[in-house]
Amino acid sequence: GHQDLHRHFFTKVKFDITGEQTTVKYPDTLNNCFSMHLTAAAELVASHSAYLDFFHIIHDSKQTPGFNHSEQNAYNGLNDPATMTKCCVMTLYKFAVSDPYIAAIWALGVNHLDLGPLYKQVIAHIEKLIAEPDLLLNPTASYEDVTLDGQPFRDQFAVDPVHFMSS
């Protein structure tokens, strides 16, 4: 019920931060695409304080101020350390593993029958990150060691808060 308010509010928030004038919609987590849940988690981490402000606006703008059950649950989640920790983990996974993997399999000219070596690389990379989680949490760690493709994070703005919270 707050889609229009969300779009207008976060279009302004993103413009204030990046200078880009784009319409912002919350990631569609109602479909079966797991990467959308990762995108939603990264959105909540990157704009955490703005989401708290957004919920305060929702709370205060009603004729009788307050949250409905769904709004209260979402607000509580934004203030719950365990929930936000999960969002941080999902954000790191998105940018270190999932996004580079998706880019590789969707690349032009890729024959999916030839992806065996990539799958072995994904397994080895995840095993490395499990053995050395500090690679993900260290803001000075080399991209070559942290991301599956050895490239910089696709959205450093979403990863920086995770590094800040982990220090």
Alpha-carbon distance of 34 to 43, in angstroms, equals 14
Q: What is the pLDDT of residue 19?
A: 82
pLDDT (tens digit, 9 = 90+) per residue, 105-114? 999 999 989 9
Q: How confident is the model at residue 163 (pLDDT cuts 50, 70, 90)?
A: very high
Say yes or no to pLDDT of 51 above 80: yes
State the average pLDDT over residues 23-46: 85
Mean of all residue pLDDT scores within the chain:
93
Q: How confident is the model at residue 148 (pLDDT cuts 50, 70, 90)?
A: very high
Half-sphere exposure of 148 (CA within 13 A, CB side): 26
- Which are the contacts of 85, defined by CB distance < 8 A and separation ≥ 6? none
Alpha-carbon distance of 63 to 78, in angstroms, equals 24
Say yes or no to pLDDT of 34 above 80: no
pLDDT (tens digit, 9 = 90+) per residue, 65-97? 999 999 999 999 999 999 999 999 999 999 999
Q: What stretch of H or E contains 59?
A: helix 48-60
Percent of the chain scoring above 90 in pLDDT? 78
What pTM was estimated for this model as a whole? Answer: 0.90
